[in-house]
Structure 1
Amino acid sequence: MASGPALPNRKGFLIDLDLAVTEQREEASGAHGKTGTRAFMAIGALLGEKHSFMHDLESFFWRSEIIPQFDKWNYADAEELAKLKMGTVSDEDIFAKTTTESFTNYFKALIPWVGRLRRVVFPSGGRWKKEVSGLYASMQEVLREARRDLDAVAN
């Protein structure tokens, strides 16, 4: 896997792409237990589902700066945390209120795009029940559109 440019060392910003694989797998890796930073873990992983690439893609959705409301997620038990996350993404209005209250002014322009990303990662406001092979491409497209839009606004 080719490495990209180094990311700035930002408090609360973690990246674990060095653990990613570039090949298609027929089944889960077989890793035992739950590993990772709890606040960034996919809902299904918290509920003990067999690991899937979908969990990895969902975990990107949960990345954020340290915000007291979400920092406590690292200390909740797995089932409670899964419920907290579902409550956050299940309803469009609740999600919009959460992002509006949590995003700093610098990131407010991203709110509509994070909302679109939410609709891709959590179709119908719920967690996914089966793997969707096109999820990665769909997420990339939302991010590309956001970049084009934000570049146009900046110019």
Structure 2
Amino acid sequence: MSDADRLYHLPAARSEDQRAYMEGLEAAGVCVFCPEHFEAYHREPIAFSGEHWYVTENDYPYAGAAAHYLIVPHRHVISFDELPDEAGAELWAMKRRLREQLAPLATATVERSGDMRYNGGSVAHLHTHFVALKASPEATVRFKVSELGPDG
């Protein structure tokens, strides 16, 4: 299997536990975010769902976040432009719903689209990170949004 065909980008793992988990999923050929595998392989349940997306807490939340959710398309896609325009409107609605539920001081979102070997992502299934921020976090929340690529 070439690096471009992998489901997981192991260098993007933020802990040894996460890396080992991703290695096991890759070996089994399981995309943790695809609906047919989600319940068996993701620890957190689906919080709510729409026509195009579902929302869940991140199994590996970023340090310093008050809450860390993932907004994931039901379809296995790697890029936002593989989804219909209506999915964009639903994504905004889900972000608003999370913001209302969490009532944080501020939020941060990031979506890595395309080849994860270049965008800093770890799973080859598009998803948006939605992070609620606190006034005095124990760590600065950091999103990795680029990678050197397979040759660098």
TM above 0.5, one fold? no
TM-score calculated relative to the size of structure 1:
0.32
Q: Which has the higher contact order (CA 8 A, sep 6+)?
A: 2
TM-score calculated relative to the size of structure 2:
0.32
Q: Which has the larger radius of gyration?
A: 1
Answer 1 or 2: which has greater helix percent.
1
Answer 1 or 2: which has greater strand percent.
2
